[in-house]
Structure 1
Amino acid sequence: MSVTTLPVPGPDDHRDEVGQAVAEVVRYVAAQAPAQPEDETQPAGKRHEVLVRTRRVRRLRAEVDEAHALLSLQGDTAPLAVDSRKVRRSRKRAMQAARLHALAQDAAARAWQASRVRAVLTLVAMTALVGALAWSTTGVHHTLTLNTPAYSAAWWGAWAVEPVISAVLLVVVAARAYLATRGRVLNHPHLNRVERGALAVTLTLNVWPYLPFVAETFEPMTLLAHSIGPLVAVAAVTVMPVIWAEFAGLDHGDTTPTADSVAASPAEVTEATGTVASLADPPHSPENDEIDPRMPDTPIVQAQPLPVLSKRAGELLPRVLAAVTAGTLPPVPSGSAIRAHLRCGSEYAREIREYLAARHESEVTR
């Protein structure tokens, strides 16, 4: 017969069970306990990595970086030196105005401008003349057909009387216009008689039925109305030749320099620069710069350089000098006197006046 022996627990077994129970309790408490705040002893780098992940931090950091970038750039004045569109437009207009002003001073440009003005004035005057003659044609036809049956041969022929007279008048006016553009004034006595006779006949045929001793009832306004055509024609024929002659006498300057004009002038014109140097001045030599040792107190007077003349003024200078020598002009004439003597532009007269004044002053101080 076998006997089963039960194990008897010793003191170590009780210790293991107690330890396991304590460990279970600790684990349970740790699982149920709330999360502890971050330990302040955690490294700063690790805490910064956690903080930068928030949206507010990123937004504030971007704002700070932007402020630093603006501070570094706002001291640069380069954007202020850039021209705006308005400045560029103003500069462009100013440059165009300067070029147009310089072009307006050119002799060829002045001649072209004078030609345009003359053409416009001629067109206006001729329009007025043709209109006046057309109005005069109706008046002449009415006078000639007072006792003529309508639509008869004489009635139709009366329309051609005034155009024939006007054609003769226009021939004289056109001839004077063409010759005036070439510097010739057409003032022949025969032409003057023809012109005055044609205008007198036209005026008489227009106003005859309305004269006080012809009309049954005198109407001054009717007489004046039928006198307008011939009077306007007389005014146009009288004014146009005078205007053309003045335009032909304008001095625009020489646009084609020639060797003959330079050789005949007592002034030396350099083709490269267009400046003028007077030949009357003595040539420069080293002897002129020496000071007389016997006169140590003699003041040194340095002659001022003469003004520079344009090419056209240099060509006109001999005529002024000849007039001064002949006594027609004073030694230092005024600009208006020079302009009246030469019939030139005011700018050339002013250049010559300043040149003569400077030369006279240098001769006095010499």
Structure 2
Amino acid sequence: MSTTTPTPEPSPEDVARGLAELERHLGEQAPHLPVTPPSRPVEADGQTKRVQRLRAEVAEAHQLALLQGDDAPLLVDTAKVRKRRKQAREAARLHELGQDPAMRAWQAARMRRLLVAAAMVSLTLALAWSTAGVQTFAADGAPAWSPSWVFAWLVEPFMSLALLVVVGARAYLGTRGQPIDSPTLVRIEWLFLALTLGMNAWPYLPGVATEFSISRLVLHILGPVVAVAIVTALPIILAAFTRLDHGTEARSGNPLTPLEYRENTTADLDLDPDPGERSDGLGFHFVTAHVRSLIAAGELPPYPSAAAIRRAARCGMDTARAVRDALIEGETR
């Protein structure tokens, strides 16, 4: 019979030693993990990212405050300002060009041609409108497409062509400044117009028409009435165009008519200037002195216009404008 030797119980020192060996073994077997740095490191002098951002913001504010005192960007014209200045300069040039006598004559000639063309077109349409009424009068109830019915359509055209010959000749010669004031031609025009008006209105007059209608009568006499108005008004309009003054001579009281211009000269001055100072050909200093004396005497206002200076000193317009500008600016060239 065998006997088993009992195992002695471990002492507390043996347990502590075993735990230490176990921890050492586990430490040797575990992987080495990197040490994670702190999320917001604090430097020795306190320069954190927040401090750096605030410092940059303060420096930017100082620069902006310094630059805001400079008005140079405000002196640069924007695209809109340049566009508006260009339009204003163009409008001023066009206005100046519109005051030129040659330009005014060209505008009047163009408008005259336009009015004559519109009047002739309206007259042609008015006579064409009355063709149907004249055909009804001339056919006198003839069957459709019979010889009388067909030839009735030719009555108004040959009368209209004859009338257009007379009116066209008077209109053309009127545009050339040679209006025709012939009583014979006037009577011919009125004869054709009276015939057209009578033939259009006769079938629709009260007592002639089976059933009178004022609207039908007005519609059929509309063409002849328009033709009478054009033939009467066109010679009057053309005669007014021939009397137009395009500004070649100054007219008082009309601000749209430019002043008469003459070359600069000092020969008309009532002064006896120094010949050495007159050698510039403009007489600017003498005119300025003369105008200042007139202002002091109360004969001219403190800032007279160029026209007033020209009349008072009897000088050229360029010299008058230069003196006016010098008086406004308070300096002498």
Pick from 202, 216, 221 the counterpart of residue 222 of structure 1.
216
Kindly state the Cα deviation for residue 248 of structure 1 after the two structures are TM-superposed: 2.1
> For residues 207 and 71 of structure 1, do their structure 2 counterparts lie closer, same or farther at Cα, with a shift above 3 Å needed?
closer
Aligned to 1:306: 314
Counterpart AA for 2:106? W
Aligned to 2:59: 65
* Pairing of 1:278-293 with structure 2 (within 5 A): 284-285=271-272
Alpha-carbon deviations, 1:244-286, whole Å to 9, x = none? 111122122459xxxxxxxxxxxxx9xxx7347798x686547
Task: Give the secondary structure class of the aligned counterpart of 1:187.
Answer: coil
RMSD over aligned Cα atoms: 3.3
For 1:309 and 1:146, locate their aligned partners in 2 and report how far apart those are by CA, in whole Å.
75
For 2:121 and 2:314, locate their aligned partners in 1 and report how far apart those are by CA, in whole Å.
52
| Higher mean C-alpha displacement, 112-121 vs 144-153 | 112-121
Contact 2:269 2:313 in 1 (8 A): no
Kindly state the Cα deviation for residue 105 of structure 1 after the two structures are TM-superposed: 0.9
Aligned to 2:129: 135
Kindly state the Cα deviation for residue 213 of structure 1 after the two structures are TM-superposed: 4.2
Alpha-carbon deviations, 1:90-126, whole Å to 9, x = none? 2222112111211111122212222232233223322
> For residues 225 and 276 of structure 1, do their structure 2 counterparts lie closer, same or farther at Cα, with a shift above 3 Å needed?
farther
Pick from 236, 243, 257 the counterpart of residue 242 of structure 1.
236
> For residues 66 and 136 of structure 1, do their structure 2 counterparts lie closer, same or farther at Cα, with a shift above 3 Å needed?
same
Q: TM-score, normalised by structure 2?
A: 0.61
Counterpart AA for 1:142? T
Pick from 201, 205, 216 the counterpart of residue 199 of structure 2.
205
Pick from 266, 274, 288 the counterpart of residue 262 of structure 2.
274
Counterpart AA for 1:305? A
Kindly state the Cα deviation for residue 58 of structure 1 after the two structures are TM-superposed: 2.0
> For residues 212 and 274 of structure 1, do their structure 2 counterparts lie closer, same or farther at Cα, with a shift above 3 Å needed?
same
Aligned to 1:104: 98
Aligned to 1:122: 116
Contact 1:275 1:308 in 2 (8 A): yes
| Higher mean C-alpha displacement, 91-100 vs 232-241 | 91-100
Aligned to 1:180: 174
Counterpart AA for 2:314? L
Kindly state the Cα deviation for residue 62 of structure 1 after the two structures are TM-superposed: 1.5
Unaligned runs of 5+ in 2: 1-42, 250-259, 274-296, 300-310, 319-333
Contact 1:52 1:58 in 2 (8 A): no
Kindly state the Cα deviation for residue 309 of structure 1 after the two structures are TM-superposed: 7.0
Contact 1:177 1:244 in 2 (8 A): yes
For 1:196 and 1:147, locate their aligned partners in 2 and report how far apart those are by CA, in whole Å.
28
Pick from 94, 101, 107 the counterpart of residue 113 of structure 1.
107
Q: Tell me how many residue pairs correspond in the alignment.
A: 234
Contact 1:212 1:218 in 2 (8 A): yes
For 2:158 and 2:266, locate their aligned partners in 1 and report how far apart those are by CA, in whole Å.
61
Counterpart AA for 1:107? P
Kindly state the Cα deviation for residue 145 of structure 1 after the two structures are TM-superposed: 1.2
For 2:52 and 2:220, locate their aligned partners in 1 and report how far apart those are by CA, in whole Å.
98
Aligned to 1:323: none
Unaligned runs of 5+ in 1: 1-48, 256-268, 287-299, 311-366
For 2:272 and 2:103, locate their aligned partners in 1 and report how far apart those are by CA, in whole Å.
43
Aligned to 1:162: 156
> For residues 56 and 219 of structure 1, do their structure 2 counterparts lie closer, same or farther at Cα, with a shift above 3 Å needed?
closer
Alpha-carbon deviations, 1:120-153, whole Å to 9, x = none? 3223322321221011111000111123121122
Counterpart AA for 1:274? R
> For residues 90 and 153 of structure 1, do their structure 2 counterparts lie closer, same or farther at Cα, with a shift above 3 Å needed?
same
Task: Give the secondary structure class of the aligned counterpart of 1:304.
Answer: helix
Aligned to 1:7: none
Counterpart AA for 1:89? K
